[in-house]
Amino acid sequence: MLSTKVQSVQQDVKRELEVAINSLKSYEYKSRSSPPVFTPGYMVWLSSKNIKSAIPTKKLSERWLGPFPIWKKVSTHAYHLKLPSQWKSIHPVFHFSLFEAVKKSTISNRHREPPPPIIIKEEEELEVSQILDSKLKRGKLWDLLELKGFSQGPERSIWEPTENLKNFPELVKDLHSSYPEKTGLNSSRA
């Protein structure tokens, strides 16, 4: 008699647990949206939330970087992006929640693509608008260059050794006159 009562209580508890689990599942699926499907070549903006930049505060840095093309789908929720070569230290696989789809502008000439690199002596060279900063790294002087034509993201500025700036003597001189107290400037550029 006691064993039948225990069995009936267990069956009641099991039934109630199944009802509770089914109601939680239905609520979960109502609030969960399915992940968007991006195909290779699709352009997306990447959130800068988890990416360090040269800008000292997140408040002043860009919120969205890119746009970048999707290279391939890695899993149901992750995609591999084609990132610029200067981003080689960043792992190129990201969760879809960090993407914003690129929307085509309805206003003509609203977005301008960055200019193609200049070819000098059969080598590509990007146009530099100004030198933003300078630092000593392993005994070598490096300059932070702002590139022309790039409006957003870390791809608009890159660190280059000062010895590579032979084609920009006026920009080097401007930085030297503006910031003579910078480390290494007096000895290397005088």
Which of 110-144 are b and which e, b meaning 16 or more Cβ less than 10 Å from the residue's Cβ?
eeeeeeeeeeeeeeeebebeebeebeeeeeebbbb
Question: How confident is the model over 116-174, as pLDDT tens digits?
Answer: 554 444 455 567 777 778 788 888 888 887 777 666 655 677 787 877 777 777 777 77
Question: How confident is the model over 90-105, as pLDDT tens digits?
Answer: 899 999 999 988 887 6
Q: What is the pLDDT of residue 166?
A: 72
Q: What is the pLDDT of residue 14?
A: 95
pTM (two decimals): 0.45
